[in-house]
Amino acid sequence: MAGYLLEAGKHDVSLLARGERLAAIRERGLIVESHGRRLHSRPRVSAVPEDFGPQDVLFLTVKGHGLPALATALAPMIGPETVVVSAQNGIPWWYFYGDAGPECDTPFEIVDPGGLAWRAIGPERALGCVIYLPAHIESAGIVQHEGISRLILGAPRAGQHAAVLDCLAGALSEAGIEVVLTEQIRHAVWSKLMLNGASATLSVLTGSTVGQLQAGPGMPDIRARLKRETLATARAWNIDLPDEIDQPPGAGVSGHKPSMLQDYEARRPLELDAIVTSVIDLAARRRVPVPTIETLRSTLIVKLTTERYPGMTLPGVHPLQTITTASTFAAERAR
């Protein structure tokens, strides 16, 4: 997103980065290779939020499990009118803001332990963002993008931030990224989650790309069961998605490695809570059975534990859920 906006040259775009990526961008700039184009820019970049001051818009693109810790450091960049675009896979930290039911306007502990992001950012500032930008980091400061370029944007509480949404859609569209505005951002979240959830754990367990998962013996049936359980959970939360269980992966992504597999191969913490554990928890709250999702999650945790994967006990895996099955959630809450 930054590479495209910087190439357009009409907006003041800065990057908050860390470690080797920060060093690489400082040394040689940001490079985005996309559809035969090489976008090379020299953005202002720092690891220190105080270097930037209050921003009109913040795009938060760290993985979901990294957001709560980052959120507490963002105060120097958040002014009275700042809007924060939360661009993570899975169920987001703001999910219960403005939602109906007993959870309304409360943090979702599975993805936001202690409500850190909720308090530090404020859900009233949040814009939801569902990302369809299949990409990977070739090396520090160099990003390779393939396939579609689409963002779905919407406010958790429909009707909020309408002017900002229009402005963002215009800027991103002009830069070359397709933008869809919606008043039903939770529908878009669950629609993407059906794709992520059907690929995430399976990709790590098998080491397979999206296309290999689709073509592997028995894989379409397992993926269909994962999608069906996710769909049933979404509908239990009044998200009436169409039944597209048998829809194949989109064109141009068959060779793409799901983000969880990319993280696994790089020995980084996984988005397991946002993509998997959160669905198990939400299913349990509405008494929806999700045995396939539970089984694959447990199998993956055993694999990671056996491999002494970095972070076991896993940052990015909710500690309670590693020893608790969905069937006991309701009883534990009652106690």
Residue extents of the structural domains in the chain: 2-183, 188-334
CATH superfamily of the 2-183 domain:
NAD(P)-binding Rossmann-like Domain (3.40.50.720)
pLDDT at 314 over 60: no
Distance CA 44, CA 16 (A): 9
Give the strand pairing for 150-154 and 126-132: antiparallel
Between these two residues, 272 and 137, which has the higher pLDDT value? 272
pLDDT at 137 over 90: no
DSSP 42: -
pLDDT range class, residue 26, cuts 50, 70, 90: very high
* The residue type at 335: R
Each residue of 107-130: pLDDT tens digit? 999 999 999 999 999 999 999 999
Q: Are 218 and 184 in contact (CB under 8 A)?
A: no
pLDDT range class, residue 161, cuts 50, 70, 90: very high
pLDDT at 324 over 50: no
Asked if domains 2-183 and 188-334 share a fold, the reply is no
- Whether 192 is catalytic is yes
Distance CA 11, CA 5 (A): 7
Each residue of 297-309: pLDDT tens digit? 999 999 998 888 7
DSSP 49: G
3-class secondary-structure state, position 117: helix
Q: Are 93 and 68 in contact (CB under 8 A)?
A: yes
pLDDT at 210 over 60: yes
Distance CA 186, CA 27 (A): 40
Q: 132 to each of 129, 185, 327, 329, how far by Cα in Å? A: 10, 14, 33, 32
Nearest Cα residue to 87 out of 143, 150, 42, 41: 150
Structure tokens at 20: 């080797």
Q: Are 94 and 86 in contact (CB under 8 A)?
A: yes
CATH superfamily of the 188-334 domain:
N-(1-d-carboxylethyl)-l-norvaline Dehydrogenase; domain 2 (1.10.1040.10)
* Averaged pLDDT, 141-158: 92
Q: Are 221 and 227 in contact (CB under 8 A)?
A: no
3-state helix, strand, coil in the chain (%, to 5): 45, 15, 40
* Averaged pLDDT, 236-262: 78
* Averaged pLDDT, 192-211: 91
Indicate the range of 62-76, 250-264, 298-312, 318-332 predicted with least confidence: 318-332
Q: Which of these is catalytic: 192, 227, 257, 303? A: 192
* Averaged pLDDT, 14-20: 93
* Averaged pLDDT, 198-210: 91
